[in-house]
Amino acid sequence: MKRLIIVEDQTAVREMLVEILRLDPNYQLVGECGDGQSAVALCLEAKPDLLVLDAKLPGLNGVDILRRITKKLPEMRVLIFSGHENPMLVREMLEAGAHGFVEKTAGLIELKKGLEAIANGGTYFGPAVAALLRDVVANPEASSAADFLTDREREILQLVAESHSTRGIATKLDISIKTVDNHRTNLMRKLNLHDVASLTRYAMEVGLIAQKKAQ
């Protein structure tokens, strides 16, 4: 029986996954949560065999979660289950340590297929993600300015895009306001973007945060 953690910020979706997978005799649910910081702490504490992870989470996105934990948990297998997919996001997830990626539009049957595949040591991609990967292979020169950001700059970019103030970011990351300003200046220079609205749009485009709904 594989020990499993589910990380999903939409409560209804997370509760549905918990109920479905709790009934599967192949898995033992050892934890669940809905935000990035809690996900890191929970995984490092519980050391699961399997992790079902959403790509978009408040505070810390899926890519940065994996970058923090995969080296410490090399045996853990990771399946991304997300409503947001683009070539850059899929590539970054795989580079960070994911073993499969299933889009939420593919449904729960695809999720269970993916989970079974990675649990048995394989990889798995939903149909839409598989199509994206074919595009990446066909266009290997495509890249992103986000590749040139440091982990801290990416983290601050996400928090800026989530409308956190400079003081709030400093408090959250336990760094000085001046350090936050320096990182923000550097990432603006690297991306050639010079206001919060532009940074927010960019963060949505590259998959650091979800698309904001119109009011």
Same domain, 116 and 157: no
Last residue of a domain, one of 138, 169, 196: 138
**pLDDT value at 133 more than 80:** no
- Cα torsion at 105, 98, 111, 18 (round to 10°)? -110
- The 10 Å Cβ neighbour count of residue 203 is 23
- pLDDT (0 to 100) of residue 131: 79
Mean pLDDT (the chain) is: 86
Q: pLDDT tens-digit profile of 142-161?
A: 445 455 678 888 889 889 88
Does 182 or 213 have the greater pLDDT score? 182
C-alpha 152/C-alpha 123 separation (Å) is 29
CA-wise closest residue to 53 among 96, 22, 24: 96
CA-wise closest residue to 2 among 71, 51, 72, 74: 51
Could you tell me if residue 213 is inside a domain? no
Instruction: Provide the percentage of residues in the chain whose pLDDT is more than 90.
Output: 50
Q: Which domain holds residue 53?
A: 2-138
Same domain, 127 and 167: no
- pLDDT (0 to 100) of residue 128: 86
Q: Write b or e for each residue in 127-165: b if 16 or more Cβ atoms lie within 10 A of its Cβ, otherwise e.
A: ebbeebbeeeeeeeeeebebeebeebbbbbbbbbbbebe
Q: pLDDT tens-digit profile of 83-97?
A: 877 777 787 888 889
Q: pLDDT tens-digit profile of 12-59?
A: 999 999 999 999 999 999 999 999 999 999 999 999 999 999 988 888
